[in-house]
Structures are given as C-alpha cells and as structure tokens.
Amino acid sequence: MLVKPSLIIEDITQIDLAALKAAGIRGFIFDLDNTIMAPHSGTLEDRIAAWLTILQVEGFKCLVLSNNKKADYCQMAENVLNIPVISHAAKPRRAKFREALGMIGLTATEVAMVGDRPLTDIWVGQRMGSYTILVDPLIKHSEKVYIKVLRRMERLFVRG
C-alpha cells in the first residue's frame, strides 16, 4: 500500500489558499499535534496563529481531528485555537471524519485533510476522497529517536 498525498509541504503556512479555493476547497480538517501545535505544548506559534486567522477571514471552515485521547488537553487546544477539536478520532478510521464533515457542513471533496502522519491523517483523507496535504512535523528535530525511526518507516509508504 502506498499513500500519495495531493500535496507535500513543510508546514501549513505554505498552503496556497487561493489555489485551493479555486479548486473548490471550502474547509480544512487539521491534525493537532505536530501539525498545528507542538505536541502536548498547548501553545501556538505566532506565524501559525496569523495564518489560521487569514484562513478564517478568507471564509474557510476549520476543524481539528486528533487521535489524542486526553480530553482536557484537546479542550485546552480548542480554546487556544478557537477551532472545534474532535479527540479520540482513531484515524485512519472514518467515523470521526464523517462527524467532522457534519459539524462543518461540507462534503469530503470540499475539504483538505492536513497532517504530519501518512498512515493516519493522509490515509483517512484519501479513504474519504478529500484533498490531502502532508506536512513535516513541527518539532521533528527534537523528537525522540524511536519517533524519528517510526516517521522514516512511515515515509516509505509515501509516494510524492
């Protein structure tokens, strides 16, 4: 099985909103940890906060879909982001993705799924028929060795 994201970029601030809008994308479903926020940090980088503001001003609907099971953390992230967060997503399963689509009132083909993990974030987006964007993890340089090894193995399944 190979996973082929629609787009591979360094981080979310490189997403061309005008191009996606022209292609019919009206919303985004983001992964949380290492896509929008550094894992378990509860903080948002200024450049990402500014980009998320532009995204919402441009009229895109947004939601965060996280496999994180810590309800308090996900609620805190929702407060910081001012974007709804669905936890316990169990990606690449599709149930919570469908719930997310219902919450933002869009179809799978109208959203871009954005995340740092090919075998969870990108795969669920592909399974649903969404545009998929693979980003580099925000803290890739300071991750534990076993996480770096896991990421290298995951990238073997990616075809760019």
Would 139 be classed as within a structural domain? yes
Would 1 be classed as within a structural domain? no
Instruction: Supply the pLDDT for residue 154.
Output: 66
**DSSP conformation letters of 5-29:** -SEEESSGGG--HHHHHHTT--EEE
* The pTM of the whole model exceeds 0.85: yes
Would 75 be classed as within a structural domain? yes
Instruction: Supply the pLDDT for residue 139.
Output: 74
Query: Are 83 and 63 a contacting pair, CB within 8 Å?
Result: yes
Would 40 be classed as within a structural domain? yes
Provide the residue range defining the domain that includes 47.
Answer: 7-155
Contacts of 79 (CB under 8 A, 6+ apart): none
Domain count, the chain: 1
Would 2 be classed as within a structural domain? no
Would 101 be classed as within a structural domain? yes
- To 10 degrees, the CA torsion angle through 28, 81, 69, 128? 0
Would 105 be classed as within a structural domain? yes
Instruction: Supply the pLDDT for residue 18.
Output: 97
Which CATH number fits the domain that encloses residue 116?
3.40.50.1000
Torsion sign, CA atoms 26, 68, 8, 157: negative
Query: Which amino acid is located at 102 in the chain?
Result: G
Instruction: Supply the pLDDT for residue 70.
Output: 94
What does the pLDDT look like over 2-25, one tens digit per residue? 688 999 999 999 999 999 999 999
Torsion sign, CA atoms 62, 79, 38, 68: negative
Longest dimension (CA), the chain: 41
Instruction: Supply the pLDDT for residue 77.
Output: 96
Would 136 be classed as within a structural domain? yes
pLDDT < 70 positions in the chain: 1-2, 140-144, 146-160
The CA distance from 115 to 1, in Å, is 19
Query: Which amino acid is located at 107 in the chain?
Result: T
